[in-house]
Amino acid sequence: MTEPFDAAYFRRFYESRRSRVYGAEQIDHLARGVTGFVQWFGGELESVLDVGAGTGLWKGWFARNLPAVRYRSLDVSAYACTTYGHERRDISKWRGRQRYDLVVCQGVVPYLDDAACARAITNMAAMCRGFLYLEAITSRDLREVVDRARTDVTVRARPATFYRRLLARHFEPLGCGLHHVKGGDAVFYDLERA
């Protein structure tokens, strides 16, 4: 059986300038926004867990912009781990003991079945002591938002309410994919909450 996240998958969706969904420039904008909001809200930013780290764009961004941050990257793909230096872990089955100020999970959970998705979010919550940035394509996104030529559309088409329900068990939504772990130290104005 062929691994779904092999070299061909990464070439098409992440490494080729002609067909990739995004590159270093887009992640630069995103990472600046996410880390800027974490700092704006008074969150510590000493440790980061990147789940589904892929081509290592966040890893490179932290190395260039916030090199003092302890960064740990995981991916389920043998190719990504070998090529980009991540630990090979399945977030739906693995939970580490360490807790992180920021957990980044971009494009992972839509590939998981419902039960695995719930376990993954629970595992990330257990390792998060501050903020989660989660990107997950929804059924509406597949119909109305994504560039189908540049996006892997072989994901589970779920409504946003599915993810919101799972996240609400552990996190408070802040908007733009950013969440804060329930019981954390940060305090938010009403209009800062989603």
93-139 confidence digits (pLDDT tens): 999 999 999 999 998 999 899 999 999 999 999 999 999 999 999 98
Does residue 111 form part of some domain? Answer: yes
Instruction: Tell me whether strands 128-135 and 100-106 are parallel, antiparallel or unpaired.
Output: parallel
Q: Whole-model pTM?
A: 0.90
Instruction: Tell whether 152 is covered by a domain.
Output: yes
19 domain residue, yes or no: no
Name the residue among 22, 87, 3 with its Cα closest to residue 51: 87
The yes-or-no verdict on residue 1 having pLDDT over 70 is no
Domain of 156: which CATH number? 3.40.50.150
Domain annotation covers residue 36? yes
Of 32, 33, 72, 36, give the one whose Cα is nearest residue 56.
72
CB 51 within 8 A of CB 105: yes
* pLDDT value of position 43: 94
Per the prediction, the chain carries an average pLDDT of 89
How far CA 131 is from CA of 14, 21, 52, 110, 186, in Å, comes to 25, 25, 17, 20, 10
For residue 122, count other CB atoms closer than 10 A to its CB: 15
Per-residue pLDDT averaged across 20-40, rounded? 89
Answer yes or no: is pLDDT of 172 > 50: yes
Flag whether 12 is in a domain: no
pLDDT per residue over 38-51, tens digit each? 999 999 999 999 99
The answer as to whether 131 is a domain residue is yes
Domains of the chain: total: 1
Of 67 and 137, more confident = 67
- C-alpha dihedral over 182, 162, 173, 175, to 10 degrees? 160
CB-CB contact of 56 with 104 (8 Å)? no
pLDDT band at 145 (very low <50, low <70, confident <90, very high): confident
User: Could you tell me the two tokens for 152?
Assistant: 């892997």
Instruction: Tell me, yes or no, whether 144 lies in a domain.
Output: yes
131 neighbors 38 (Cβ within 8 angstroms): yes
